[in-house]
Structure 1
Amino acid sequence: MFLSGIATAQNLIPNGSFETYRNCPWQDNLLAEATPWYNPNRATPDFYHTCFQTGQMLLPPRSGQGAGRLFFDQGWAEYLGVRLTKPLNANECYYFEMYVVTDTPTKYQTETLGAYFSADPVTNPASTDRLVVQPQILDNAPQSSITRLQWQRIAGFLTAKGGEQYVTIGSFTKTPQFLGFYYLFVDDISLVPIKLDLGNDSTLCGRKSTLLLDATTPGASYYRWNDGSTKPTLLVTRPGKYSVTAVTNCKTLQDSITVNYALDFDLGADTTICNGQTLTLNVPTAAGATYRWQDGSRQNTLTVRAEGRYDIQVTQAGCVATDSIYVRYIRPPQLDLGPDQSLCGAQLFTIKPTLAEGKFSWLDQVPGIERTVSSSGVYRASVQNDCATALDSVYIDYEACDCILYAPNSFTPNGDGQNDQFLAYGCGDITITSLAIFNRWGEIVFQTATEPFQWNGYYRGKACETGVYAWSITYKLNQRGKIKPGQQQGSLSLIR
C-alpha cells in the first residue's frame, strides 16, 4: 500500500516518484536530471520519464510518469542517492517504503536490496563495486514471491540515531552470480515519521454534518477506536469524544478528539398520530438563533394539526441547520369483545371480536380471532396500528350454576365404536387429576394420573367380566383465582 496522502504531506524523500526533472532524460545514464538525486559511485544508474520515450521502460511507472533503474552484475552495483528534506530526529520512528520491479525474477537477489541512512553521503566515485555499509532497511521477501514485471513493495521501520540526512538505495550484501546480471526499476520512494494526529477538537453545524476522522498511520498493522471498530478511518455522525490506538512494529500510538455540534437538534422520526390529535414540534432555543418553518412562522415551536411534511431551518452566526418530519393521520383502532358471559356446566362459548383499523391479537398469544372457551376467566385482546393500541376484555363466568363432574353409569366395551370407553368430564373449571376403577371386592383394576382419564374395560390385558364396578376421580376446581381440590365416586355397569 503506497500511502499517497501521508507521503505527499510528510515524505522526507524529495522527488521520491521521479516526477520532476531538470532536463527531459533522452537516453540512459541520466539520473542527475532527476534532481536532487545523485550517483554515489562510478556506475551509471538510469532515470526515465514519459516526456521522452526511450523504449527502455518495460512497463509504466507505478505512479506518475517517471522511474529510476538500477543494474547489478559481478563487480557492478548501481545506487540512488539523495539528501532528505530535513535531518532525522534522534529516537524518532520512521517508516520507509519503495517499490521495485524486474523482468528477470529468477535473477533477482533477495536479502540484499535496501536503503541506508547516514549523516554524510556514502560515495565511492572511483569504483563500480557495491558499497560496504549495513542498510537499516533490507528486503526479506522470499524468492518465490517475486513475479515478472509486477511491482513489489520493500518497506520497514527505522529508529533514527539522530542527524541522518542522506539515503542510499541499492544492493548491499551480495553480488549476482556469473551471468546473473539483472535490471531493477524503482519508484514511489517515501520516508515518513510515524505519527498519529486526529487534528484539533472540532465543532460541526447541525446533526446532518459529518466528519471523517483519519488515523492512517504509516506501517500500522492494527487500529482500534473507542467504539470497537478496527478500520483506519471513522465517520463521526454525533457529538462526543473519539479516541484511537494504532499499532506499528516500531511503537504504539494513541490520539483523541472531541467533536461538538452547534444547533444540535432533531425533530424526530416520521410519525403517525390519531385523527383529532395534535403534535408539538420543538427546537431548543439557541442564543442569537433565528427560526423559519415551512409556513413562514418564526417561533422555535410549531403545533401540527394536519397531515404533511414539516421543515425547520435554524440559523446561528455562520451555521445553518435544517430538519424535517412527515406526520401522518389515521383513524384510531377499534375493538369490542362483547359483554361478559355467565355460563353453566359444560357449555361452550365462542368469543367473536368486532374490530377495525388495525391488527388483532390475543394477549395470551392464542392464534386466530374467534375463540371458543370452556372455563372461567378474563380474556384480553388488542387491536394495534401506527396511531394507537385499543384494548378490551371479556369475563367468562361458569359459576352461574354448580360446576359438576359428569360420568356415565354404564358402558359397552365391545369394539363397535359406540360407548366403548368409560370417560368422565366436567365443566370448564374442573381439571381431572386421577381416575381409579375398582371391582366389587374393592380391588383396583385400573388407575391413571395422566390424560386421557378413561377406561377401556380391560385389566392386565384381559377383558373384565360383565358386572358393576366403582370409580373414583380426583380433580381441581379453579374459580375466581382460587383452586380447590375435590373427589367424587360412583358406580359403573360394564355390559358386553
Structure 2
Amino acid sequence: MFRFSYFIVLLSSFLCGKISAQNLVRNGDFEQYTNSPGGLLLEDWLPGWYSYFTTPDYYNTALWTIEGVQDYCGTLPRSGAGMTGGYQLGYWGAMPAYNREYIQGELSEPLKPNTLYYAEVYVKPMLKSPVINFGIKNIGIVLTNKHYIRYDSTASYIIEETPVVEYSNSVISEMTEWTKVSGCFIAKGGETKIIIGNFNTDALTDTAQLPGAFGEEQFHSGMSYYLFDDVLVKEIPAAFILPNEAVICRDSTLTLTAYPDNALTYEWNTGATTKSIEIDKASTYSVEITTAEGCEQKADVKVVTKYCGPRCSELFMPNAFSPNDDASNDYFMPMNPEDISGMELSIYNRLGERVFYTNKLDGKWDGHFRNQLCDIGNYFYYLRYRDCKEEAHVKKGDFVLLK
C-alpha cells in the first residue's frame, strides 16, 4: 500500500462504467466508487471489491488530479478515471517474502457448469523508487466461490488456487502500453468471485528488473508492484451451424453457415476456411472455430437428403409375362423403374424356392433358373425399394409365367 500526500477531492457521485454489459464482473472498470472517511482498504472505496491481506491501492483522476495520478503512478488508467494497484512479490524491509496484495471482486451471477467463458485484465508494472523495481511473469486470474480474508497471522500469505488464466509469455515489463492477461476456460459452476494477482510461490515466480531500475542490490531487496484496469469475465456463446436441421434436396445445393460471425478462423472438415460453405450431398459437416477472444469451439450438423420434386408415382408390377423372345413382355420387372432410387427383387416358385434375385435398378427376370426356362404357372415376388423421395417401401404379390 502507498500513502498519499495528494489532496483528495471528495465526490459522492458514481461514474459510468466503460465495459460492455456482457461483463459479469461487478464494477470491473473501477469507475464506481464511494467515499469512506479515513478508509484505506480497497473495499472502503470500490463497491464489489475487497482485499485479502494488507491494502491494495485505488487511484482515480477525479479524486486526485490527472497530473497527480500521472506523476505518482507514472501512467494514467487504461480507460476512464479509475484503476487499482498492489504489490505481487515483496522483499521490502520486515514484509514477508510471500506477501501479496490480491484484489478480489464479485460476479453479478454464478458461472454455469461446463460452460465456456473468457476472462481478461489489463496490467502495467510500476517503477517507483529503489524499492519498487522489478517485474514478474505470473499474473493470473482465479474464479472461485470462496471469499478469502486473512484474519490471523497463521494463514498463508498466498491464496492457494489454480488460475484459470495466467500470463506465461515473459516477464511483464512493458512500461508504455498496458499488457492484456486473458484466456478462455470452462467453468466448474457456481463461481461467484474473481481474484487477481500472483498465485505462485516466490521460488516459482519469474522475475526481471524493469527498464530503468535502480541496480542489482536494490533488485534483491525490493518489490514488484502492478496496476490493474478493465477486468472482464463474459460467457462465450456456443458455436453452431445454420440450418441446424439441414435437409438437402436431391440434385441441388445447400449453404451451411457457422456462427459466431465475428470469429477469427473457420476450419470445416471439408477443408474450407470460410464462414459459409456450399454442399451438394448428405453427410455430417463440422467446423472448428476460433472466436474473436481466441477461444476454440466446434460445431457440427448432420445433413440428410430429401426429394423436393413432384409427388412420386406409384410403382406398378406386372401380373404376368411371357419369356418367349417375341420382344413383348419377355421380362418380369417394375413397369416404371425411373420412379425408384434403389431396389431388391426376389422371385419364388410355388415350393418357396428362390429362383431369382437382383439389387440393381435395371435388374429383370428372364424366366430362367439354373439356365433352364421355368415351368408355366404362378410365381411370387418380394420387392424392397426406395422411391424418388428416398423413402423405403415393401411390395409383394404373385404373377403368372406364360409361354
TM-score (norm 1): 0.39
TM-score by length of 2: 0.47
Structure whose residues are more often strand by fraction: 1
- Higher relative contact order (CA closer than 8 Å, sequence separation 6+): 2
